[in-house]
């Protein structure tokens, strides 16, 4: 039975142990500090920019994640904040009151970045003081844990959005002050020698698999978002899935073979996007064919690294060109333990983002977290170079509209077998 | 092995029997005559109107269905048509050459309706002459059968689109000259007495079911579109599905209960649509609360008839209000034999339109028929008052974007059970 | 003192003579018959098409001009028309009640063309019967005369709009069944021999001229629209105006010299339009450099004929390229008697459409005829191949937004002199 | 003869006197310092915001005015600036090379505000050093003087744009740190006692007046923009012009009388804007009927102060309601010496922004300064509370599109007299 600090919850729950509280306290401190570190390279001007309606200013990410703790953990009234902030920093929770227009976040010059950072510190102190005093109800502790996972999601979004904002500047400056701050520099790729050895594909006969996670919060349940639940059985057809993700080199071959000029390879909506947007290569690839824009500025592209910044339409067209297809999310999850390269780029799947059988959203306002977006989006699995360490898991379901490509998104091939 | 009259097909196939050819000839004549009958109530002006980019003029439907036979059955060169017609009446087949801009179909005043009708007759004679001469290859006969099913789809679209066109006219005239021509007048509803008897829900335990159809064309295969294939196993979770579709009366209760003013009931995209479009009731319902616009003009609404002209967002919100959900298409197909009311309105499902495991599109240009639209759309099952008799079947997959509601679309509830 | 049949008019006026009434009756009959003749080449489908929001279907022109007589001359209540027609065929007269959405005129398939033509005849009979009976008040007779001029404007608009509608059809069919019906075939051009003789420019020293027309209706006043009034004095600076309009040959030289690729020649808004719309030549010119689309279809262009279908931006850029400028409307009117070629194409002037000093709109609803459009438009002078004979006059002020070019519009050069 | 530092200028001109150079040096220092002072209340975040495509970030104004001196006075090559800055800070001078997209100025977070301010100081030093060394050619000194007037225009735009940016923030913070920094607080209004005494209108018989300015640069010519030249004769009809501008109290009466709900008062484009934008009062007026948003935040409105932040459509509708009209710019200039209240708000005129007879743009790239915008805009005369002292003059022609109302714009009435 869920026991989040939400409006409709009344069931008492077992008090957490002292050890669990200590771990939560450490986790809270670590996550909050990491967010501040991600903001450190930014000027106040950088943190102000909203490059498109789908993106948010870095300052807004910093403020919204703090608002989440104020409203759902400290459970403070809106009046505890400076006037207007409750509206400004509510993202999409209709149950929590009015929201500022999403596309106009970049117009809000005040509060300043410095004021937002000071607010973060003040809220952190209040949370810590309540933890010290053992004053949180179990439900509030659940919300606190959720808030740290929520903030980790925004850590990735902050990097995703600031990369786009800086790329929109004709000067295309770097976010990172040195390479240690550039999360999207290509890691040393794993060996792909086994590709030639015939083990590039992982075959699987038709079978029933269990995917998903047990509902959280619940007895002995590990953290998971509601959209990952419940754990359930599904039938996976006979198929093979690629051991490694598609690489920059693979995708360059698709381009060289005229992929962007061959309508038969594309979904109808995808071909429309190619023509309307003038797509000729992944976002952030240079027309010179060798470089890509990274958080450290322009760099040589590594042909062995996972291809990134593809829309689902591009991933799907590439797969068709390769005489393959995208995997379903069940296929992906069934084989995840054997997949290499995961963690370089989110992998588009063939699965529309939809509720699992038996899905129930979290109660109350937090029920808006995931469920209401189950329309018009596709599931991505895995994780990316910008995902906080330890944030994702095998059952994790990321989701974006099929035309989006400013996030760190690539693909892995799958195919039917007899 | 498919044997359509398509560019890449070389495999010979077994000649059809004389009986099959006779049946096909009768079917062709019957379908073509029915289309002409549907156009009979239209003035040349009616047949010219395109009310929105998603709809087509009736004249275009009449011409496009004929073009299909010219290009894919008679296999005539574009030059066999008057100059420009090949481009004007190609819908979306990139493999068949240039296409006129879809949104501008309503600007094409010439050829006139009379010229299009005359062309239909001329093409019919050529097809019949070839049939008489036994001059069609087997692959052409397959394409001919496909063409008749294609034309039946356009029969429904013609009614769907002309209803919208006439409704856009402030005078809101009727299509039908008498009730016998009005396909969307409410039929005598079936008894719903068993609702009270406790048999309103059809429960089913978790099981593996087979859905879909065997690939056509193929040995002994009945006709089916490629998107229905292959027949395959899938796991259906424990659930119950409603015996009858949601009715006008059910939906009126949702409205009366503030359904259109309660954001918590809606998907995020759905709530955006409600606000952007000002939706307050199904399309074609009168603000007076009692009437609906039909092909015969304004009529009293029957509260027992299936509700129609809902978007998927409205269907989904209604289901949530009813503490239920939409069925998946597998759940629907598994129970279809026991479902009442089907055939009044297409039923939105919870399933995004996606390829079945092992899906293969038809070869060549006709492969564009279905597969390239498997993005951004939801599956509808069943059939509607405007569907030609005998056209649909249990495995039939209709599809529309979730915001569309000018088609004859309603819903049936489902729910999880333990 | 105006005495139109308008809501606020109460002053009696002198009864017109029997001779004036006879002339008016003949004029009415002639104008109405000419409109019907212009519609004769049109199919019902042609008459239905609205190619863009700024244009109207031919059927709408036929109906609206009739509505004008019903409401402003016969002074019949809206209920005298079939339900809804009063709203459908009111163009922009807020004082006369609700109006249908302008951009959606092409969706109104009913009433049909035949019904509109029958209505025209019925209204004509009612007007004639009232004339026979001497039953019109003087104010109604004034409105009747205005109505005939109004209809002549729509005669030109009908040709303007149908030319565009047919051009939007990829088949680009002809309006005219033979050349006698094609109003825009180039006439035998007048001699331009005097160009070489040094008399191409008409110089004029600074002077005060009288332009405009005396207010109509009024004692002994000839018909004029309110926007032409009052006749007034204005100071014209020293200048010269070209004796003949710019020709197709002149304009082709501008194109050949890179006119459409040289931003320094263009107004800022004009250059934006060139880039946004991809303009490379006048509307209706073929890319082959030699042909133009006419009401009789594609024809060879006559280099000596006046250039047509230019926006004001193009006319202005051409003038700058020629080291000249567009004339003001006062300069044009001051010299009009000596200008050659006028009547081939409306001539863009440098004058924004604005009220003359002392301007007063007609009283009542008919005051909406002209005055409320005095914003965002430029004045054109002269007349065109599509203007009804005798319709225009020296003081006539046509007006269009500067980006419009589907009308029959060209230019004449002017320049400053010391 | 113009002698600006422009590409096509070769004619030598008389060296300026030492006294003139000293005055220019003082003026340069004073203008530049004033701009920096206007920026002082801004945070880096404030200076980053672009609230709409028509507005610019404060940081951009600070950079663009500096760019002007670099390119047109110092005549430095683009390479003298950091890479990309030449493109970023060129506003609209096609002759000076590529320009960044205007609507995307708010996305340019780097260079930072601090970097732009440092650049300003460096450029100032270079200009002053060249002045000290007497190293400027006469043409460069002319461009330097023009640059200071250009910068004064941007001082007003900076205030205009930052007011809008802060107003778009739901918190609606103040720009000014104290009232001394708030340029738009109502000044003590002048007496309007003579209104009751019958001297509210200044009548004038028909006459020829001289308006405009002598071309600058030229022998003994005072500074004026090219759009004010040449000085020329024009005929002004008999009319009267109001001694004082329309006040907040006057405009409130128009609102109270239903001005925003009466289509007959409005130009057609104006009424469209009222409905499309939902206008019900001037921009920055509070719905409470008593307050207005200022650079110091929300303040009580003074009914005697000039009304501000009207579009031309609103000014025109108000004038029609008052049985009057807007003055032409010639009428305004003819009487300017006797007009009270000028300097509170720019006054919309009835004159479209067009070249004067004999107008010649400045040579070379600086010819783009004014002339190419002579389309689609209306002239405003006078000056506003945000105009730098001494910047405007009797012949000064400001211009905006008729729908714009974020600038400090009001009106003065005029009327025809016999």
**A155, A173, A191 - which closes a domain:** A173
Q: What is the mean pLDDT of chain D?
A: 93
pLDDT for residue C20: 86
Among C58, C83, C63, C104, residue whose Cα is nearest residue B169: C104
Q: pLDDT tens, B185-213?
A: 977 656 454 454 446 999 999 999 999 99
Find where tokens 């019109």 sit.
C136
Q: pLDDT tens, A358-382?
A: 999 999 999 999 999 999 999 999 9
Among C62, C100, C174, C286, residue whose Cα is nearest residue B109: C174
Same-domain status, A38 and A84: yes
**B128, B143, B173 - which closes a domain:** B173
DSSP character string of B206-257: SEEEEES---SSSTTPPP--GGG-S-EEEEE-SEEEESSPPBHHHHHHHHHT
Q: A153: domain range?
A: 5-173
pLDDT for residue B14: 54
**C-alpha distance from residue D234 to each of D219, D225, D228, D248 (Å):** 24, 19, 14, 33
Cβ pair C236, C204 in contact under 8 A: yes
Do D110 and A59 make contact, defined as CB atoms within 8 angstroms?
Answer: no
pLDDT for residue D10: 40
Average pLDDT of span C312-336: 98
Q: pLDDT tens, C183-192?
A: 999 776 564 5
pLDDT for residue D20: 86
Q: Is the pLDDT of residue C266 over 70?
A: yes
Q: Is the pLDDT of residue D300 over 90?
A: yes
**Residue C376 is nearest to which of D269, D271, D373, comparing CB atoms?**
D269
**Residue B110 is nearest to which of C83, C107, C173, comparing CB atoms?**
C173
Classify residue B405 by burial, with Cβ atoms within 10 Å: 0-12, 13-18, 19+.
buried
pLDDT for residue B136: 96
pLDDT for residue C115: 98
Q: pLDDT tens, B133-157?
A: 999 999 999 999 999 999 999 999 9
Q: pLDDT tens, B297-345?
A: 999 999 999 999 999 999 999 999 999 999 999 999 999 999 999 999 9
Do C268 and D354 make contact, defined as CB atoms within 8 angstroms?
Answer: no
Q: What is the mean pLDDT of chain A?
A: 93
Same-domain status, A214 and A291: yes
Same-domain status, D169 and D221: no
Q: pLDDT tens, C52-102?
A: 999 999 999 999 999 999 999 999 999 999 999 999 999 999 999 999 999
Same-domain status, A167 and A193: no
Do C170 and B45 make contact, defined as CB atoms within 8 angstroms?
Answer: no
Least confident of B9-13, C167-171, C364-368: B9-13
Same-domain status, B339 and B226: yes
Do C357 and D234 make contact, defined as CB atoms within 8 angstroms?
Answer: no
Q: How far is C311 from chain D (nearest CA, A)?
A: 13
Compute φ and ψ for D48, nearest 5 degrees: -90, -25
Cβ pair C190, C70 in contact under 8 A: no
Same-domain status, B141 and B276: no
Q: pLDDT tens, D242-274?
A: 999 999 999 999 999 999 999 999 999 999 999
- Chain D residues with beta carbon closer than 8 angstroms to that of C234: 235
**Residue D107 is nearest to which of A47, A51, A88, comparing CB atoms?**
A51
pLDDT for residue B205: 98
Q: pTM (2 decimals)?
A: 0.95
pLDDT for residue C10: 39
Q: Is the pLDDT of residue D12 over 50?
A: no
Same-domain status, D162 and D47: yes
Confidence of residue C24 (pLDDT cuts 50, 70, 90): very high
Q: How many domains does chain B have?
A: 2
**C-alpha distance from residue C47 to each of B105, B265, C106, C148, C414 (Å):** 15, 47, 9, 21, 40
Between D221 and B64, name the one with better pLDDT: B64
Per DSSP (E only), the strands in C238-390 are 239-242, 291-294, 297-300, 346-352, 378-381
Report d(CA C364, CA C96) in Å as an integer: 10
- Chain D residues with beta carbon closer than 8 angstroms to that of A112: 43-45
Give the single-character DSSP code of C403. T
Mutation site, B98, B118, B171, interface C, largest C CB count within 10 A: B171
Same-domain status, C376 and C237: yes
pLDDT for residue C176: 97
Q: pLDDT tens, A102-154?
A: 999 999 999 999 999 999 999 999 999 999 999 999 999 999 999 999 999 99
Same-domain status, D44 and D71: yes
pLDDT for residue D2: 35
Report d(CA C306, CA C304) in Å as an integer: 7
Same-domain status, D132 and D222: no
The CATH number assigned to the domain holding D272 equals 3.90.1580.10
Do B48 and C51 make contact, defined as CB atoms within 8 angstroms?
Answer: no
**C153, C173, C193 - which closes a domain:** C173
Our measurement of the distance from residue C182's CA atom to the centroid of its chain's CA atoms, rounded to an integer in Å, reads 17
Least confident of A45-49, B132-136, D406-410: B132-136
Do D233 and C416 make contact, defined as CB atoms within 8 angstroms?
Answer: no
Which H or E element spans position C321? Answer: helix C312-321
Instruction: For chains B and D, tell me whether 3 or more CB atom pairs sit within 8 A of each other.
Output: no
Average pLDDT of span B393-413: 98
The CATH number assigned to the domain holding D99 equals 1.20.120
Average pLDDT of span C212-224: 94
Our measurement of the distance from residue B63's CA atom to the centroid of its chain's CA atoms, rounded to an integer in Å, reads 18
Q: pLDDT tens, D193-241?
A: 445 444 699 999 999 999 999 999 998 899 999 999 999 999 999 999 9
List chains adjacent to chain A, taking adjacency as at least 3 C-beta pairs closer than 8 Å: B, D
Average pLDDT of span A240-246: 97
Confidence of residue D189 (pLDDT cuts 50, 70, 90): low
Do B48 and C170 make contact, defined as CB atoms within 8 angstroms?
Answer: no
Average pLDDT of span A152-176: 98
Q: Is the pLDDT of residue C360 over 80?
A: yes
Cα end-to-end span (Å), chain D:
43
Q: What is the mean pLDDT of chain C?
A: 93
Do C48 and B51 make contact, defined as CB atoms within 8 angstroms?
Answer: no
Q: pLDDT tens, C382-393?
A: 999 999 999 999
Mutation site, C54, C97, C238, C268, interface D, largest D CB count within 10 A: C268
pLDDT for residue C105: 98
Q: Is the pLDDT of residue B9 over 90?
A: no
Interface residues on C facing B, Cβ-Cβ cutoff 8 A:
43-49, 51, 59, 83-84, 87-88, 100, 104, 106-113, 165-166, 168-171, 173
pLDDT for residue C48: 98
Compute how many other C-beta atoms are within 10 angstroms of the C-beta atom of residue A257: 12
Do B83 and C168 make contact, defined as CB atoms within 8 angstroms?
Answer: no
Same-domain status, C321 and C219: yes
Same-domain status, A282 and A185: yes
Q: How far is A223 from chain B (nearest CA, A)?
A: 24
Cβ pair C380, C398 in contact under 8 A: yes
Q: For chains C and D, what is the number of CB pairs under 8 angstroms?
A: 81
Confidence of residue B10 (pLDDT cuts 50, 70, 90): very low
Q: Is the pLDDT of residue A12 over 60?
A: no
Q: For chains B and C, what is the number of CB pairs under 8 angstroms?
A: 92
Q: pLDDT tens, B254-279?
A: 999 999 999 999 999 999 999 999 99
pLDDT for residue A195: 54
Partner residues linked to A380 by β-bridges: A348, A398
Between D33 and A6, name the one with better pLDDT: D33
Average pLDDT of span C135-158: 97
Report d(CA B191, CA B203) in Å as an integer: 20
Q: How far is D416 from chain C (nearest CA, A)?
A: 6
Q: Is the pLDDT of residue B1 over 60?
A: no
Per DSSP (E only), the strands in C220-296 are 232-236, 239-242, 291-294
pLDDT for residue C219: 85
Q: Is the pLDDT of residue C361 over 50?
A: yes
pLDDT for residue B38: 98
Q: pLDDT tens, A60-115?
A: 999 999 999 999 999 999 999 999 999 999 999 999 999 999 999 999 999 999 99
Confidence of residue B89 (pLDDT cuts 50, 70, 90): very high
- Please list, in sequence order, all residues whose beta carbon lies within 8 angstroms of the beta carbon of residue C390, skipping any fewer than 6 positions away: none
Q: pLDDT tens, A305-340?
A: 999 999 999 999 999 999 999 999 999 999 999 999
Q: Is the pLDDT of residue B96 over 90?
A: yes
């Amino acid at each position: 039975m869920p026991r989040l600090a939400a409006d409709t919850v009344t069931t008492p729950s077992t008090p957490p142990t002292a050890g669990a509280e200590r771990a939560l306290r450490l986790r809270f401190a670590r996550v909050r500090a990491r967010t501040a570190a991600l903001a450190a390279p930014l000027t106040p001007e950088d943190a102000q920019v909203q490059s498109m309606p789908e993106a948010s200013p870095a300052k807004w990410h910093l403020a919204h994640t703090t608002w989440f703790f104020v409203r759902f953990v400290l459970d403070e009234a809106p009046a505890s904040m400076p006037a207007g902030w409750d509206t400004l920093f509510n993202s999409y929770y209709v149950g929590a009151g009015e929201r500022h227009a999403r596309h106009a976040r970049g117009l809000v010059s005040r509060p300043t970045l410095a004021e937002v950072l000071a607010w973060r510190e003040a809220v952190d102190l209040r949370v810590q003081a309540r933890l010290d005093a053992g004053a949180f109800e179990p439900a509030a502790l659940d919300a606190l844990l959720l808030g740290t996972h929520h903030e980790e999601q925004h850590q990735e979004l902050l990097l995703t959005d600031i990369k786009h904002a800086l790329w929109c500047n004709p000067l295309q400056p770097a976010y990172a002050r040195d390479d240690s701050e550039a999360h999207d520099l290509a890691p040393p790729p794993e060996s792909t020698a086994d590709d030639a050895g015939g083990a590039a594909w992982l075959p699987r006969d038709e079978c029933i698999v269990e995917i998903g996670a047990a509902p959280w919060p619940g007895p002995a349940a590990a953290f998971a978002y509601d959209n990952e639940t419940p754990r359930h059985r599904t039938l996976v057809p006979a198929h093979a899935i690629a051991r490694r993700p598609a690489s920059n080199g693979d995708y360059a071959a698709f381009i060289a073979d005229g992929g962007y000029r061959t309508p038969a390879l594309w979904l109808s909506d995808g071909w429309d996007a190619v023509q309307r947007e003038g797509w000729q290569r992944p976002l952030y690839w240079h027309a010179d064919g060798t470089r890509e824009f990274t958080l450290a500025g322009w760099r040589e592209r590594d042909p062995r690294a996972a291809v990134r910044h593809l829309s689902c339409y591009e991933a799907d067209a590439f797969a068709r060109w390769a005489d393959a297809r995208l995997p379903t999310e069940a296929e992906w999850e069934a084989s995840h333990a054997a997949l290499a390269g995961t963690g370089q780029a989110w992998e588009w799947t063939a699965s529309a983002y939809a509720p699992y059988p038996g899905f129930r959203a979290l109660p109350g306002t937090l029920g808006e977290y995931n469920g209401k977006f189950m329309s018009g989006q596709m599931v991505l699995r895995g994780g990316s170079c910008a995902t906080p360490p330890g944030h994702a898991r095998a059952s994790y379901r990321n989701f974006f509209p099929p035309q989006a490509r400013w996030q760190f998104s690539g693909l892995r091939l799958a195919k039917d077998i007899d």
